[in-house]
Amino acid sequence: MEGLGEARIMEIKWYIGLAVALFCTGIVGVLTRRNSIIIFMCIELMLNAVNLLLVAFSKMHGGASAVVQSNPNVVSDAQIFVFFIMVVAAAEVSVGLAIIVMLYRNTHSVDVNFLNRLKN
């Protein structure tokens, strides 16, 4: 991507729009599906939308703003933050999938409606 010097910027609102659209798609999936695996995947989708927005915010303002001048590491810090979110998500997925496997073993279905019996 050489020779595009001045054009390498996007307005933050497009990133916000994309992340919000992905997040709301995940929410619609959680609300409309009953398969617990797909609900779990939609949660991952929402997590990734937020990660994308965090990275986009970390690159906002470039190197000129007061925030960057008072703390030169702000971009690295933001990306390390996203990295740790991914770490926690990986741990969460392993436990969550174990729970889903156990649900399937006990009910022979992945339907979340079977979890209604937890009420009593």
Partner 1 sequence: MSITEILFWGLSALALFSAIMVVASKSPVHSILYLIVVFFAISGHYVLLNAQFLAIVNIIVYAGAIMVLFLFVVMLMNLNAESEPKKHRMMQFAGLISGGCLFLVIISAISDTQHASNMVQMSTGGDGLIKNLGKVLFKDYVLPFEISSVLFLSAMIGAVVIGKKESPPTPKGGDL
Enumerate residues 30-49 that contact partner 1 by CB under 8 A. Answer: 30-35, 37-38, 40-42, 44-45, 48
What token pair was written down for 43?
């949660």
Residues 8-27 that bind partner 1 (CB under 8 A): 8-18, 20-22, 24-27
Q: Of 67, 69, 71, 101, which one interacts with partner 1 (CB under 8 A)?
A: 101
- The set of residues, in sequence order, having a beta carbon less than 8 Å from that of 8 and lying 6+ positions away, is 1
* DSSP conformation class of 73: T
Question: Binding marks (x or -) toward partner 1, 49..68, rule CB under 8 A?
Answer: --xx--xx-xxxxxx-----
CB 113 within 8 Å of CB 40: no
